[in-house]
Amino acid sequence: MSSRPAYYVTTPIYYVNDRPHIGHCYTTLVADAAARFMRLAGRDVFFLTGTDEHAEKVVTSAQEHGVSPIEWADRNAQAFREAFGEMGFSHDDFIRTTEPRHIGRVEGYIRALQATGDIYLGDYVGWWDPSQEEYVTETTAREHDYKSPVTGRELVKRTERNYFFRLSAYQDRLLAHIEANPGFLRPDARRNEVVGRIRQGLQDVPVSRAIDESDAASRWGIRMPEDPSHRIYVWIDALFNYLSTVDTPERERFWPADLHLIGKDILWFHAVIWPCMLMALQRDLPGCVYAHSYWIREGRKMSKSLGNFIDMPTLRAYVGRYGLDAVRWHLLTQGPLGATDADFAHAKFVEVYNADLANGIGNAASRVSNMIGKYFDGACPDPKGVTSHAGHDWPAIAGACAEGALRRIESADFAGALQEGIALTRRVDGYVNATEPFKIAKDDARRDELGAILYHCAEALRIAALLLLPAMPATMTDMLGRFSSAPKKGETFDDLARWGGLRPGAGIEKGESLFPRADAKEAPPDGGAPGAGKGPGDLPGAGLGA
């Protein structure tokens, strides 16, 4: 058992019939950065991702490909694992809803809810959206002319004998919880949206589907434990993953989750249905449900028909040219964390890369290590007790950045946390420009001053690299290594970020450029987004699964 406080972060579990793309990678990347930050901060972290496999679409896709549903699921779950490996994600587990460890526990939760009367048998009449495998309310159906609000396909009127979850019974408790915990639903705009909808009234929701034994798609899923003529609705099955994975004696300390990271499309399930089910199960509620917005590309929504999805081949092309950490950096700092969508535009990618990485941390590191190489034979100079110089109180400056980063991470401001590392780097640049150590170097009498300046620069950059480590683990580990400061196991953020960690005399190595400058005139590495005004030659090749 660990005495360190637990931190549990989750991503949605992804539909296994889709190929991994920027959307899946993005949510998982934000979770990865949060997990890495928290590990560095000394927390006992559990980071979960995985795949949602009991959708009817899995069966139809499998049939189209001439394989069994589980073979199809195996194959595609593997594609997600590989994609997440390529992105350098550090998840502690990968749950698949077809695994016995999940299925057994889901049956247990359903039994418990039936025993309390929170799940009961009744009749349901409603508008079914076959393309999304969900019912839409009468109001939504009417508003969209009885077509799917997502895909525009015809809705179908369905009557079903179903098991229901008594959602209506939890309306007041849920509202009270949301009110008492302002950090529970984030960002604020999403909370207001959800609260508005809850106030219109919560109705009980079906949690099962009757099985048509002659239809393979209808048979696919977890059966209701007391009634094998029904299977558990895929969304209910899927939500339980967050709990089922840690509902073991070794992992129970992780519940409740601190952070469920999701996209805005699946907010209702996470902000309303899931918490109410947890209340019915008498389990604690997660600390925060954070719903980010969407990536679009070159100003246009990404869609299969436009063929402009940023899929793995596209991400791979960017990784190939700019490096994995540059891609991670772009997604993390320019992504749709707030309530508005974010545009993945090639020109912006290059601009941010050059500003933050090539001309930012990369240039600062090479400038400072160069001077230490030249003037001190590559050995870290001794500041001789000086910590404040030329209007820069370095322990205070670096301390404020480190503290700021931690505070922002705690409040789920991931992009803001990373900007602290960049801000610290800029302070170093400003300091070098103001003090001009290359001029001081010409005056032997000012050798101590030169040593102090370069110590301050190197030490501030070491701390900046630490703050950037969760976003860019490989490059920043490399940089810290060059500064003889690779974090050792067991060292926590508090120790590491303290001013003075860098020992005088330690080797400061220059090495290759961390982020070579990018040429803004070069075409996008994957040929660009189809239809983004690049010219007909760029059209083929960037589609799904190339």
80 part of the interface to ligand MSP, by CB under 6 A:
no
Q: How many residues bind ligand MSP (CB under 6 A)?
A: 20
Between 27 and 208, name the residue whose CB sits nearer to ligand MSP: 27
Closest CA to 458 of 482, 494, 441, 489: 482
Between 238 and 422, name the residue whose CB sits nearer to ligand MSP: 238
Smallest separation (angstroms) from ligand MSP to the CB of 511: 35
**One of 26, 128, 163, 414 touching ligand MSP (CB under 6 A):** 26
99 part of the interface to ligand MSP, by CB under 6 A:
no
At CA 224, angle to CA 223 and CA 227, rounded to 5? 105
CA distance 286 to 304: 34
Q: Where are the beta strands (DSSP E) in 98-248?
A: 119-129, 134-136, 156-165, 185-186, 205-206, 208-210, 223-224, 227-232
Helix axes 69-86, 312-322, angle to 10 degrees: 20
Phi and psi angles of residue 527, each rounded to the nearest 5 degrees, phi first = 90, -10
CA distance 174 to 278: 11
**One of 8, 15, 414, 455 touching ligand MSP (CB under 6 A):** 15
Stretch that binds ligand MSP, among 18-26, 207-215, 280-288, 358-366 (CB under 6 A): 18-26
Residues in contact with 126: Cβ distance below 8 Å, sequence separation at least 6, in sequence order: 135, 136, 137, 138, 157, 158
CA distance 374 to 433: 18
13 part of the interface to ligand MSP, by CB under 6 A:
yes
Long-range contacts of 388-392 (CB under 8 A, 24+ apart): 389/435, 389/449, 389/452, 389/453, 389/456, 390/431, 390/434, 390/435, 390/453, 391/434, 392/427, 392/431, 392/456
- Whether the link from the prior residue into 187 is cis, omega within 30° of 0, is yes
Report the b/e string of 279-311 with b at 16+ CB within 10 A.
Answer: bbbeeebbbbbbbbbbbbbbeeebeeeebbbbb
Smallest separation (angstroms) from ligand MSP to the CB of 82: 16
Closest CA to 294 of 254, 322, 335, 324: 335
Residue 269, classed as helix, strand or coil, is: helix
483 part of the interface to ligand MSP, by CB under 6 A:
no
CB contact at 8 A, 81 and 121:
no
Between 295 and 353, name the residue whose CB sits nearer to ligand MSP: 295
| Burial class of residue 201 (count of CB atoms within 10 Å of its CB; 0-12, 13-18, 19+) | exposed
Between 454 and 471, name the residue whose CB sits nearer to ligand MSP: 471
**One of 6, 7, 8, 24 touching ligand MSP (CB under 6 A):** 24
Between 172 and 284, name the residue whose CB sits nearer to ligand MSP: 284
Residue whose entry in the numeric block shows the structure tokens 């992009």: 415
CB contact at 8 A, 170 and 136:
no
14 part of the interface to ligand MSP, by CB under 6 A:
yes
18 part of the interface to ligand MSP, by CB under 6 A:
yes
Stretch that binds ligand MSP, among 22-30, 124-132, 142-150, 472-480 (CB under 6 A): 22-30
**One of 6, 8, 9, 27 touching ligand MSP (CB under 6 A):** 27
239 part of the interface to ligand MSP, by CB under 6 A:
yes
Q: Quick one: tokens of 307?
A: 């063929």
Residue 256, classed as helix, strand or coil, is: coil
Q: Which residue is nearest to ligand MSP (CB)?
A: 23
Between 15 and 493, name the residue whose CB sits nearer to ligand MSP: 15
Smallest separation (angstroms) from ligand MSP to the CB of 525: 20
Q: For residues 249-278, which are near ligand MSP according to CB under 6 A?
A: 262-263, 265-266
Smallest separation (angstroms) from ligand MSP to the CB of 17: 9
**What character string, x for contact with ligand MSP (CB under 6 A) and - otherwise, covers 193-212?**
--------------------
- Percent helix, strand, coil in the chain, to 5, is 50, 15, 35
Between 238 and 380, name the residue whose CB sits nearer to ligand MSP: 238
Smallest separation (angstroms) from ligand MSP to the CB of 167: 17
Between 18 and 118, name the residue whose CB sits nearer to ligand MSP: 18
**What character string, x for contact with ligand MSP (CB under 6 A) and - otherwise, covers 274-313?**
--------------------xx------x-----------
Between 294 and 375, name the residue whose CB sits nearer to ligand MSP: 294
Residue 434, classed as helix, strand or coil, is: helix
Between 152 and 500, name the residue whose CB sits nearer to ligand MSP: 152
Q: For residues 43-72, which are near ligand MSP according to CB under 6 A?
A: 52
Stretch that binds ligand MSP, among 13-21, 153-161, 318-326, 404-412 (CB under 6 A): 13-21
Residue whose entry in the numeric block shows the structure tokens 């009885």: 146
Smallest separation (angstroms) from ligand MSP to the CB of 57: 10
Residues engaged in binding ligand MSP (CB under 6 A): 12-15, 18, 23-24, 26-27, 52, 238-239, 241, 262-263, 265-266, 294-295, 302
